[in-house]
């Protein structure tokens, strides 16, 4: 039987970064990947969708008005980016101390895993198997023209009529990109507003912006059947029909646990995924789960830092990673990004706060960029500490990254007032919100 210090199942961002971190700290690692190095994010998630978002941004440039979309060229570029990054991850897995194995991993016990029929044992095992695209139980959901985001990323043409079921992050990013590419886009959402986890002020503004560009939203609507290239759904009590060429199912993702034989290890799971504590350790000592498979925060960068938390716990090292301050971004046009509490969360928790706003329309850099549509909202506690920040507009993610750094250091708005921002930059919008 092969012995090592740490076995990692899954070579996505959480898994491979945890492997590199563990090796740097003196551990020997065996890492197994069933499909492709880079996991969900690199191969069927954040990287290819951001390629679409980038190319869509280029075609929105007024200087390119009238230029036709060569979608096959867009797909070719996306695939080249994915392949280059995948090769980069594979090369990282060849560093001394890491044994990278392409194959299926299954638990024989809490300390023993079989990979391609060969047994490996370690005192610590880390599960980082990612997620899969969920499909709702709707009649016709398995029709050949009904796709998940995975298949949609490999489509070789721009559908004339695209219907998206679900107005979460995935649905909104595809709606934004394919509207630009030339699709007639319809979005059907069960809830009252798009992007349920996002601050409602921001979500509404983003939806309105997409509507101005021609995206049709049906909120508080439930799909009943998909048949003969037609989506039949209930919209606030009335039946609606929409003829389509392609249906994109974007109703969320589920934890990849099938085939792991977790029962052999005694690992507890719930509807969200594998149950873990704040050290990412399961109910079984020495078995950890990070990233989408634990269902906590389904973001690649969250998976990376959950992996660091897990390895630090294995090593007995103390860290100051704030998993309550994980920033997020939605790469639509315009962008949206956030960190910390929303207004609704503050109200639910009984937190007294004030809301401070800054606007893109009064910012010089935004005017130069022709990106004056945008809003920054800062939520501030009574003692001046920042509770949350939400941005809608160009480079929202970059602005949120600054705020995340400030919140990690417990900066108050009085201290923020004294921080000099470069002129002209979009960062001045943050300064405007506090002065």
Q: Is 362 left (phi over 0), alpha (psi -120 to 50) or beta?
A: alpha
DSSP states along 352-411:
-EEEEEEEGGG-HHHHHHT----EEEEEEETTSBEEEEEEESTTHHHHHHHHHHHHHTT-
Backbone CA torsion sign across 104, 108, 109, 113:
negative
Cβ–Cβ contacts within 10 Å for residue 92, how many? 16
Q: Is 423 a catalytic residue?
A: yes
Which of 320, 395, 421, 423 is catalytic? The answer is: 423
In a 3-state reduction of DSSP, which class is residue 329?
strand
CA dihedral 182, 186, 192, 193 (to 10 degrees): -10
Cβ–Cβ contacts within 10 Å for residue 365, how many? 18
How far is it, in rounded angstroms, from Cα 17 to Cα 93? 10
Supply 204's token pair. 């509404």
How far is it, in rounded angstroms, from Cα 292 to Cα 132? 9
Q: How far is CA 248 from the centre of its chain?
A: 17
In order of 188, 218, 251, the CA distances from 191 in angstroms are 9, 10, 12
Q: How far is CA 14 from the centre of its chain?
A: 13
How far is it, in rounded angstroms, from Cα 37 to Cα 88? 9
How far is it, in rounded angstroms, from Cα 314 to Cα 394? 41
Q: Taking a C-beta distance cutoff of 8 angstroms, is the pair 354, 380 a contact?
A: yes
CB neighbour burial string for 16-35, b if at least 16 within 10 angstroms, e if fewer: bbbbbbbbeeebebbbbbbe
CB neighbour burial string for 320-337, b if at least 16 within 10 angstroms, e if fewer: eeeeeebbbbbbbbbbbb
In a 3-state reduction of DSSP, which class is residue 210?
helix
Within 8 A by CB and 6+ apart from 177, the residues are 49, 52, 53, 55, 56
Would you please indicate which residues are annotated as catalytic (active-site) residues? 423
């Amino acid at each position: 039987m092969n012995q090592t210090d740490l076995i990692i199942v899954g070579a996505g961002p959480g898994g491979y970064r945890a492997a590199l971190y563990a090796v740097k700290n003196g551990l020997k690692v065996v890492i197994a990947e069933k499909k492709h190095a880079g996991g969900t994010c690199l191969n069927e998630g954040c990287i290819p969708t951001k390629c679409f978002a980038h190319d869509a941004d280029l075609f929105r440039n007024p200087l390119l008005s009238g230029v036709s979309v060569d979608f096959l060229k867009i797909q070719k570029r996306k695939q080249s980016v994915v392949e280059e990054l995948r090769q980069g991850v594979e090369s990282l897995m060849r560093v001394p101390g890491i044994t990278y194995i392409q194959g299926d991993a299954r638990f024989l016990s809490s300390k023993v895993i079989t990979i391609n029929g060969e047994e490996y044992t370690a005192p610590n095992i880390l599960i980082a198997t990612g997620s899969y695209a969920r499909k709702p139980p709707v009649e016709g959901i398995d029709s050949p023209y009904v796709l998940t985001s995975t298949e949609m990323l490999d489509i070789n043409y721009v559908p004339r009529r695209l219907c998206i079921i679900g107005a979460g992050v995935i649905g909104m990013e595809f709606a934004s990109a394919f509207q630009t590419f030339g699709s007639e886009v319809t979005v059907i959402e069960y809830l009252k507003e798009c992007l349920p986890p996002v601050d409602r002020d921001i979500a509404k503004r983003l939806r309105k912006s997409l509507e101005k560009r021609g995206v049709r939203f049906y909120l508080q609507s439930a799909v009943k059947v998909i048949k003969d290239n037609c989506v039949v759904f209930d919209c606030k009590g009335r039946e609606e029909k929409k003829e389509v060429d392609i249906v994109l199912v974007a109703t969320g993702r589920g934890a990849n646990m099938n085939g792991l034989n977790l029962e052999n290890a005694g690992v507890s799971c719930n509807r969200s995924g594998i149950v873990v504590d704040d050290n990412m350790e399961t109910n079984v000592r020495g078995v950890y789960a990070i990233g989408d498979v634990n269902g906590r925060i389904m973001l690649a960068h969250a998976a990376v830092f959950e992996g660091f938390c897990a390895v630090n716990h294995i090593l007995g090292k103390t860290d100051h990673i704030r998993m309550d301050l994980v920033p997020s971004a939605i790469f639509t046009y315009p962008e949206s990004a956030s960190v910390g509490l929303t207004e609704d969360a503050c109200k639910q928790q009984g937190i007294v706060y004030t809301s401070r706003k800054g606007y893109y329309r009064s910012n010089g850099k935004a005017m130069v960029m022709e990106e004056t549509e945008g809003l920054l909202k800062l939520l501030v506690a009574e003692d001046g500490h920042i509770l949350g920040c939400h941005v809608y507009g160009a480079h929202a993610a970059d602005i949120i990254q600054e705020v995340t750094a400030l919140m990690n250091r417990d900066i108050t708005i009085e201290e923020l007032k004294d921080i000099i921002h470069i002129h002209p930059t979009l960062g001045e919008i943050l300064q405007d919100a506090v002065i």
